[in-house]
Amino acid sequence: MLKVFTDPVFIKHDTGSWHPESPSRLEAVTRAFKSIPKLCIESSCPQAKREEIELIHTPEYFNYISSQRSDRIIMLDPDTAFSPASKEASLKAVGAAIETVKFSCHAENNRSFCAVRPPGHHAEPNRAMGFCIFNNVAIGAAYALDCGMAEKVTIIDWDVHHGNGTQKAFYSNPQVQYISLHQYPFYPGSGSADETGEGDGKGYTINLPMKSGSGDDDYRKAFLDIILPAIDDFKPELIMISAGFDAYIDDPLAGIRLSIEFFGEMTRMIIDSAKKHCHGRIVSSLEGGYDIYGLTETVKLHLKVLNDE
């Protein structure tokens, strides 16, 4: 069963007319829903609690975000906008991740998708970064571990940008396997192949840097040769996807050249791994994707495959 979690406040997160991470992105994702019959949509998300945010973020950072009072758009960093609705939106984006974890861990073959803004994978424990305020997927994974819903979680991040925040959150944690395919060298500058974890977490971070111009064949080889065998070795009890769609061939912010169809192929390979190791349980959460047509079509296919269509 596939369930989508979203909320009207995500549209209200105003980043300014110039910003690529705009409300039109979520409108594009919403259009994708209409082509999927019997899709179960939860249209209201709870706000995450302080103790849930602090599974990943520092108390000082939570206080900093909570203290923002603005009647206009301000910038938390050179890329990350914050407007009057942004605090509620960011708390509900985390709330959606937690609700999807609860849902997906409840029964076999439960899959869920967070149609949220702002995205999360660049947010570090003590700072906003790269359009991201709180790290939605990282907090969801930490929640699953903290509540005993899973002993081991695999996070697959196929956003075109490296998820520096997620990597930092779990770099020494052997319970989380973080796997990232991303354009390199590129923003944010992290994600080289020799970044593999530290201490007890050594070997549980797997970075697969891709050259600009890489396409379906390059990503397919990475999945078949490295990612799927690594998941087989790790045997997670939950798989989470940082689902950025900016590796699409016409995305304006990057140079990877994936077809629409390949996003369905990646989804299918992850489903097969999830069925093998964690009773088919998958949580997917929206990260990047800035070509509006491409975002609609890639999300549509991603959801259809998650829905076993």
The residues assigned a catalytic role are 122
Q: With beta carbons less than 8 A apart as the criterion, state whether 248 and 206 touch.
A: no
Report the distance separating Cα 57 and Cα 105, nearest Å.
23
- In sequence order, the 6+-apart residues with CB closer than 8 A to the CB of 279 are 108, 109
Contacts of 86 by beta carbon, 8 Å cutoff, 6+ apart: 13, 14, 68, 118, 133
Alpha carbons within 13 A on the beta-carbon side of 17: 0
Which residues lie across from 5 on neighbouring strands? 42, 114
Could you give the C-alpha distances from 8 to 47, 113, 136, 219, 252, in angstroms and in order? Answer: 13, 16, 17, 34, 26
Do 220 and 269 touch, CB atoms closer than 8 A? no
